[in-house]
Amino acid sequence: MTVLAAGDLILLIDKVGRRYRVRLSPGEQFSMHAGAVAHDDLIGRPEGVVVATQRGSRLLAVRPTFAEQVTGRRRQAQPIYPKDLGAILVGADVFPGARVLEAGTGTGALTIALVRAVGPSGVVVSYELREEFLELARRAVVDTLGAVPPNLALKQGDVYAGVEERDMDRVLLDLSEPWQAVSTVRAALRAGGIVFAHCPNVSQVQRFFDCLREVRGFGLLEAYEVLQRGWTVRGRSMRPSHRMVAHTGFLCFARRLAEDDVFEPEGEGFR
Ligand SMILES: C[S@@+](CC[C@H](N)C(=O)[O-])C[C@H]1O[C@@H](n2cnc3c(N)ncnc32)[C@H](O)[C@@H]1O
């Protein structure tokens, strides 16, 4: 749907790039320091329209992208940053039709990315310890996808204590002590499957990898981080942005082996 409709969540972006989240509702008005715009002047117009406040300030009206929804949402847990979300989906090879286990759900940012990646033929089961976080994540899913899709199960539970799922293609962890989930992962992940953990600190990476090696049955351990640097490309100004997100987390991956073995090639390999 390219035309803006009542009930749509949109962003109004001003000339300095400030973004205002607005839920369109007939008869309502959006007011800011630079004037006001009636929602009725937006409803029925095409997405991407530029409207003016009654004081002449121009505002671009677009629906937020998934990344803008993740960073724009008020939240209690720390979501995975959009720059990492894409890298995680490719690094963990989350494919259409995959059966995926996730913990913890947090804000639901990664959960929604996973649902989009596995498509209607896949399955996502997401565990969250805290009931109130699970409820907020459920609302974020509804906000983004319109409803909780039938192939997404949001479960309250402690993933460190074990899960009932088996033969999962992928397991993705974003919690403070991923090494405590290794037994759970070992039982839930099929041979050849991929486990991923998001670790803000390198001490977590070390402990997680040590644990994978100790329990055996995992190989091809690798960790990397994603640095994204924006550029200004305007007129004669062609330069890197003054600011960037310096650090988010290390992305850690390993594959489940068919036997209780260890397989770690010595070189850095070619990917
Ligand atoms: C950093 S947040 C996850 C953020 C999430 N990846 C996102 O993109 O919004 C970590 C979450 O893990 C949950 N958690 C911590 N320990 C857990 C456990 N043992 N089992 C399930 N969830 C757990 C926390 O309550 C918190 O919501």
Look up the CATH number of the domain holding residue 52: 3.10.330.20
Residue nearest to atom 19 of ligand 1 (CA): 158
| Same domain, yes or no: 220 and 187 | yes
Of 85, 96, 92, 34, which is closest to residue 59 (Cα–Cα)? 34
Residue 105 lies in a domain: yes
* CB of 158 shorter than 6 A to ligand 1: yes
Residue whose CB lies within 8 A of the most ligand 1 atoms, among 174, 251, 252, for a mutation test:
174
Residue nearest to atom 4 of ligand 1 (CA): 106
Instruction: Render 198-237 in DSSP notation, one character per residue.
Output: EESSHHHHHHHHHHHHHH--EEEEEEE------EEEETTE
| Domains of the chain: total | 2
pLDDT tens for 138-197 read 999 998 999 999 999 999 999 999 999 999 999 999 999 999 999 999 999 999 999 999
- Give residue 43's domain range: 9-64
In sequence order, which residues have a C-beta less than 8 Å from that of residue 203 and are 6 or more positions away?
none
pLDDT (average), residues 39-57: 95
Tell the residue number behind the tokens 């486990």, with chain if given.
Answer: 195
CA of 112 to the centre of ligand 1 (A): 14
CA of 171 to the centre of ligand 1 (A): 14
Residue whose CB lies within 8 A of the most ligand 1 atoms, among 71, 89, 129, 133, for a mutation test:
129
Q: Please name the helix (run of DSSP H) or strand (run of DSSP E) that holds residue 52, with its range, or none.
A: strand 49-52
Our separate counts of H helices and E strands in the chain read 6, 16
* Residue 46 · residue 4 · CB < 8 Å: yes
Residue 270 lies in a domain: no
Closest ligand 1 atom to 107 CA = 9
Predicted TM-score (pTM) above 0.85: yes
* Gap between the Cα atoms of 183 and 212, Å rounded: 9
Residue 169 lies in a domain: yes
* Gap between the Cα atoms of 105 and 200, Å rounded: 16
| Same domain, yes or no: 132 and 23 | no
pLDDT tens for 210-264 read 999 999 999 999 999 999 999 999 999 999 999 998 899 999 999 999 999 889 9
Of 206, 214, 207, which is closest to residue 179 (Cα–Cα)? 207
Residue whose CB lies within 8 A of the most ligand 1 atoms, among 160, 171, 175, 198, for a mutation test:
175
Residue whose CB lies within 8 A of the most ligand 1 atoms, among 80, 83, 88, 105, for a mutation test:
105
Q: Is the pLDDT of residue 271 over 70?
A: no
pLDDT (average), residues 36-58: 95
* CB of 193 shorter than 6 A to ligand 1: no
Structure tokens, 119: 């498509």
Asked, as a colleague might, if the bond just before 48 is cis with ω within 30 of 0, I would say no
* CB of 81 shorter than 6 A to ligand 1: no
Given 64, 87, 111, the domain boundary residue is 64
pLDDT (average), residues 89-105: 98
Of 207, 216, 228, 218, which is closest to residue 253 (Cα–Cα)? 218
Q: What is the pLDDT of residue 1?
A: 62
Tell the residue number behind the tokens 């989906």, with chain if given.
Answer: 89
Phi, psi of 127 (to 5 degrees): -100, 140
Phi, psi of 199 (to 5 degrees): -125, 110
* CB of 79 shorter than 6 A to ligand 1: yes
| Same domain, yes or no: 169 and 254 | yes
Q: Is the pLDDT of residue 269 over 90?
A: no
* Gap between the Cα atoms of 115 and 126, Å rounded: 10
| Same domain, yes or no: 22 and 127 | no
Residue nearest to atom 7 of ligand 1 (CA): 79
pLDDT (average), residues 62-71: 91
* Residue 72 · residue 107 · CB < 8 Å: no
